Amino acid sequence: MERMRADRAAAAAGVAAPHALPPAMPAVRPGAAAQGDRGPWARGPDKALDAEALAGLAGAAVRRLAALRRAAPEGPVAVPAPCEAEGLCTRLVRGDAEGAADLVRRHCARDGRYACLSDGLLADAARRLGAGWDADSLSVIDVSVAVATLLRVHAILRSEAGERDLRHRPRVLFIGLSGQAHTLGILLAAEAFRREGWDVALRLGIGEGAAIDEAGGDGAALVGLSAGRAEGLERLCGLAERLRRLPDPPGIIVGGAACSRGGAAARGLAADCVATRIDDALSYAREVERRLC
């Protein structure tokens, strides 16, 4: 039902063509608040829409975030203060990448590890955005701008991080398959591994054949995959089976909303680690490192 609602919202926003700017704001759904009365996260009336940020993002963002609303994290995760998460959401919806980056920097300075940031503050902000759309307090455009802004925040922080000294032996390859709309999670995971001293390679938008060639040719001991929806999980099942048949098969880590809801086990995905949090993936990687040393 959520996916059907998201598809209708995306169609109303005019995002069927992947490179076309929506011609107008979507009509308010029945029972929804008016455009100028959508709570503390609404953009100001003078905020211009960024064509590059909106093109092709709306439908995928809504489907992903609507799913995240119900995918509560498992295990002990540091929960950010509500005012901090709401402040981040406010900046994201307004397209304030610099303001959001400042807030994230302060959070990192206090809590340290990037994995904790991803599993905590950023995951909470994503769930809040999904809940806001589901409750009609945010439109499909609001959510799309927020996701695009979060990607810009990631790029800002990545540019500031610089190269880290490698402290871990295994090479980790993160793969995002072609046509895979949900890449934020795998970007955050790759960055968390990189900041903790792992030798990381990130390949986005490649086909299954290229992924097999990459995994078999660069000496990766671990391969990270992600599936936000059931359709993506089906593709990962086939890819994982092909990875298993390599002469020196890597350990396989999978994450994403479709996996965290138990879909991986139900579909027989041949994964060594199903990670509901980035710290789960890091823990498994350290186990592999101990076996290799």
Domains parsed from the chain with CATH numbers: 2-17+50-161 (no CATH), 171-292 (3.40.50.280)
Among the ranges given (43-47, 123-127, 247-251), the one the predictor scored with the smallest mean pLDDT: 43-47
- The model's pTM is 0.66
Q: What is the pLDDT of residue 92?
A: 94
Per-residue pLDDT of 188-197, as tens digits, reads 899 899 988 9
Which positions ≥6 away from 100 have C-beta within 8 Å?
88, 91, 92, 149, 150, 153
Task: State the average pLDDT over residues 41-54.
Answer: 44
For the chain, give the percent of residues with pLDDT over 70: 65
Nearest to 264 by CA among 288, 291, 229, 293: 229
Per the prediction, the chain carries an average pLDDT of 74
Which positions ≥6 away from 262 have C-beta within 8 Å?
none
Per-residue pLDDT of 123-143, as tens digits, reads 888 888 888 888 888 898 998
Q: What is the pLDDT of residue 157?
A: 87
